[in-house]
Structure 1
Amino acid sequence: MIYFDNSATTKPFKEVLDSFVTVSSEYYGNPSSLHSMGGQAERLLSQARDQVSKLLTVKPSEIYFTSGGTEGNNLAIKGSALLHKNKGRHLITSSVEHPSVKSAMEQLEQEGFEITYLPVNEFGRISVADLEKSIRNETILISIMMVNNEVGTIQPIKEIGDLLKKYPTILFHVDAVQGIGKIPLPLNKYRIDLCSISGHKFHGLKGTGALFIREGVRLAPLFSGGNQERKIRSGTENVAGAVAMAKALRMTLTKAETGLERMRNIRSMLRKGLTEIDGVQIHTPIENSAPHILNFSIKGIKSEVFIHSLEQKGIVVSTTSACSSKKKSPSKTLLEMGVSETLAESAIRVSLSFENSMEEANTVLAAIRESATQLRKVMK
């Protein structure tokens, strides 16, 4: 099987699985317990926090472990809104955010908050000028994703951070779930206050993640309980998951040193080959796009039909985001970019990891050509 659906989830590194099993079987004490086993678990948790903070070049006290990107996004958005609602009830985001951001915003709208959804251009990118025009005295939070999970567009995070230096009371949240390990994100230089990451997107385990909360930034917790994670995220800590995620992040960033160039070459080859196939339209922009995502449509062929055809050839790709793929509705991201509904219904997303090879990519490209030809004959 050739797995080209890494934006949905990645295969955990063997070393990551080994570390999870070791911690789970040998250091299973509750880190809040006073006995020595609890102390061992607490030290491992602290070591994992230190490692993640060093890899992200932030302070250990700014890392809070979560269950993944969805929780991190909800905690950042709702936690900011609930704590600062007396300062203002206006939030800004984009029209192409992940469902965990969009749904959180919609829930806040029901609670009396007002949300501005910024439009995107044909490349899926927001305008910083539009963003500045949307800022009001009541604006308390701006939440913009780093990399779009469907088409790979990189949003102007640095430029937004530069703009917000003029607005020190507005919090800036970045959903970096799709960008970590592929796109540099110097949190301290970009004026980012909150940043979400998810372990299973970089060869860690599902159910692990972290939220960066800049020192001095306060949030209202979403969970009530034992006040773990410095009262921000109650619940017995997933020590083994945190250790495994720290290892996955270290290994991913190490592999990126050489793997990114190979990944770019693979995507470039796929892009060139796809342009030579009749009826193909590529939606991922050439500039300002992450190296691991390539989104395209084959005119006249429904995406779910094409995906099953490739799967019969031992190739796994996807349609939209994994969170939306079972809804069988056109990609909202592509529609916001001005893509027709017909083409949006034919969208395919290929997403790479550092483990994929050029040989695999050639096989996938040949299978795409063959499937497109076969399905067109059947449909005539």
Structure 2
Amino acid sequence: MQLSRHSRGWTKCAKRDLIHHVQPLISIHEAEDLILSQLPVLDWEETGLEHAYGRVLAETISADRPIPPYDRVMMDGVAISYQSFAAGRREFTITGTQAAGSPALTLENKDQCLEVMTGAVLPDGCDCVIKIEDIRLENGVAHLSPSCPASPGQHIHPAGSDQEKGSPLVSGGSILSAPELAIAASVGKTQILLVRQPNILLITTGDEVIPPDEQPRPHQIRRSHAPAIKASIESKQLGNVTNVHVSDTKEDLEKAISEGLEDFDIILLTGGISMGKFDYVAPVLDSLVGTPSFHGVAQRPGKPFAFWPGKTPVFALPGNPVSVMACLARYVLPALRHMRRETWNPQTLPLAHETIWNAPFPGLVASNVFDNQLHPSPPRNSGDYSALAGAQGICELPSSSPASTTLPFYPW
């Protein structure tokens, strides 16, 4: 007997062929270990400096010349020969001005001086800088105050005193932020070797969800997973996310996954991973990829979470909004950090107050961090996405816990 067209036009026999058996539940940490041990490692790519922020460096950046490259003036003032100062001279005729960016002048007469600017090269024949606050300028003569200090090398940044030529400045594996980019620019590294960003296909499912800019009918809801997942991943430079939405049919899902396995580094799916009549994700992946490493984790929310390893790893997240965000923070983001060779461990923080958790499994609980303490806010259910507003991530809560209990925190 044929099922109705509304039921996707399959025969009962065909429907039975899609039966997928959920595996025994494993622990959160078993799931984490299986994921991290089976992920491919990303290779390298050369990228312009302007696109390197937040990326992982795949080479060592070294000094292309001494730092600083010349004896550098550190104060506005005048440059003198200390020998004249030591002999008792306190008035020096100014014979020129050494501006920053100009070739070094030469002090011809040790009883004279040259006006100097911060950042300028130290003039030849000078070995001491008197700052402007200790000088009275009058008719082209610098009159030093009676209490003016002076010593050889005063207010001079010697060439090579910070780093020698060839010294490593930024090590491979570093995450590039503003200071590292400034260092790279200072040594002329306009093209940098970085860990490649993975191209991620995000497949969202569900006939009940419509684009955010459309008006839902009484039986529909707007899509919310894609903007949250894309923002979380891309803001951390962990990957480039492309989203496609497919209907709850085996054919559409199989086509999207097949194309993703060919063209992308990672596939993320949301929804369709449980045992409902139209939950086709697991059986389709079984037919395309094989048996998952696991399907089912002893956690709440997100119990149906599953992972398929391979050249293109597949993360299948449950469809409820809280489950999506919890699994994203606990598994997907750490996995992406691992793939780019980043050494990362969750921050451990104490609970600010006693937290009740009566579920049969450990919780991935939306939390805020204030004053270096965790403030969990357990949702009423895994669809209570409004409870996530203001939360910064999740803590892993094994059971009801008193205040000061230390727990790992995973930001999203």
Q: TM-score, normalised by structure 2?
A: 0.26
Q: TM-score, normalised by structure 1?
A: 0.28
Higher RCO, 1 vs 2 (CA within 8 Å, ≥6 residues apart): 1
- Which has more strand, going by share of residues? 2
Which entry has the higher C-alpha Rg, 1 or 2? 2
- Which has more helix, going by share of residues? 1
